[in-house]
């Protein structure tokens, strides 16, 4: 090997050229320690390499957190699992680890009345997945539909949908707020078709499938969309009362009149939910996939 002229004063420049910012910041400190403690050269080099790799992973996660557009403060730590008995912490932890379901492109469908915690838990799952190294995009379904429609008008729908492939998980919040009369929602159908069995989606909605005819242009498209979504999906119905209402009630120290009001609302919501669940069961059965509502492995 020919002799290389070594000029350590050029190190900051060289490390900058090589895009090794962590080594750039730490090499002097580590070099001094290495000299003091008499490290073998290999240990010195390996220590610097480890630092750079660790920082790179951290930067990647920060980038992915920024691109995920998750609502702030909605984390697993701040989620009160006692409010949602059908959703155990262990089950959510398994989902939030990603692995099996994301690699298969399986879906997660969360249903529940307003305030039941769907947005909170789906954002929390999204955040946990990003921190594990996955790429996630959290969006209100209406916002994404608008984006895709704009792309379609520019004849770039296919490209826009393909671009979403970079995300291991798309969280579509509030699907049932999309209305076919507001917009041409078949873009949503195309998205569902494109991701089917390849890339995962987490969809939240107030109503299980029964009301989705209001979302898609025609019943055949609704059935086809539901069919693809539930084929490899975990369906969780969060039939609990509004957490906001619970918080407000607690704050008011449970006055007698509030209590009886809530009981009336509770009864109404329970009845509503019972009806909806029945309707969704029918639709799932129609879609002829008996495995649709199974629990996660």
Q: Which does 116 bind (CB under 5 to 8 A by kind): Mg ion, ligand ADP, none?
A: ligand ADP
Eight-class DSSP state of 206: S
Structure tokens at 74: 């909605």
Q: Is 208 in the site for ligand ADP (CB under 6 A)?
A: no
CA 69 to CA 154: how far, in whole Å? Answer: 24
As measured in angstroms, the least distance from the Cβ of 80 to ligand ADP is 3
Chain position whose Cβ is nearest to ligand ADP = 117
As measured in angstroms, the least distance from the Cβ of 119 to Mg ion is 3
Which residues make Cβ contacts (< 8 Å) with residue 35, sequence separation at least 6? none
Q: Cβ distance 198 to 166 under 8 Å?
A: no
Q: Are strands 107-111 and 200-205 parallel, antiparallel or unpaired?
A: parallel
Q: Is 83 in the site for ligand ADP (CB under 6 A)?
A: yes
Cβ nearer to ligand ADP, comparing 84 with 235: 84
Q: Which does 208 bind (CB under 5 to 8 A by kind): ligand ADP, Mg ion, none?
A: none
Report the candidate in 136, 151, 127 with the shortest Cα–Cα distance to residue 102: 136
CA 59 to CA 52: how far, in whole Å? Answer: 10
CA 146 to CA 38: how far, in whole Å? Answer: 62
Q: Which does 171 bind (CB under 5 to 8 A by kind): ligand ADP, Mg ion, none?
A: none
Q: Which of 115, 126, 142, 284 binds ligand ADP (CB under 6 A)?
A: 115
Cβ nearer to ligand ADP, comparing 122 with 149: 122
Q: Which residues bind ligand ADP (CB under 6 A)?
A: 74, 78-80, 83-84, 112, 114-120, 243-244
């Amino acid at each position: 090997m020919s002799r290389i002229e070594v000029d350590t004063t050029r190190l900051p420049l060289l490390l900058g050229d090589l895009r090794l910012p962590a080594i750039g910041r730490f090499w002097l400190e580590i070099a001094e320690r290495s000299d003091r403690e008499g490290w073998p050269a290999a240990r010195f080099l390996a220590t610097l390499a480890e630092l750079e790799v660790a920082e790179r992973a951290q930067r990647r996660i920060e980038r992915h957190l920024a691109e995920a557009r998750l609502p702030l403060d909605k984390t697993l730590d701040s989620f009160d699992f006692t409010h949602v008995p059908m959703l155990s912490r262990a089950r959510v932890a398994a989902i939030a680890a990603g692995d099996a379901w994301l690699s298969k492109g399986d879906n997660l469908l969360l249903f529940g009345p307003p305030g039941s915690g769907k947005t909170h838990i789906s954002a929390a799952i999204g955040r946990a997945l990003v921190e594990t190294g996955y790429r996630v995009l959290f969006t209100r379904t209406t916002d994404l539909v608008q984006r895709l429609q704009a792309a379609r008008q520019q004849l770039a729908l296919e490209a826009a949908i393909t671009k979403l492939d970079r995300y291991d998980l798309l969280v579509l919040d509030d699907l049932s707020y999309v209305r076919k009369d507001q917009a041409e929602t078949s873009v949503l159908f195309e998205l569902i078709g494109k991701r089917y069995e390849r890339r995962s989606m987490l969809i939240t909605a107030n109503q299980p499938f029964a009301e989705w005819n209001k979302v898609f242009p025609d019943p055949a498209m609704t059935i086809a969309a539901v069919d693809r979504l539930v084929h490899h999906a975990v369906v969780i119905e969060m039939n609990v009362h509004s957490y906001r209402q619970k918080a407000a009630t607690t704050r008011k120290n449970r006055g007698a009149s509030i209590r009886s009001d809530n009981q009336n609302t509770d009864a109404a919501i329970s009845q509503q939910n019972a009806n909806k669940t029945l309707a969704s069961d029918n639709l799932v059965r129609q879609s002829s996939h008996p495995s649709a509502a199974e629990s996660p492995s």
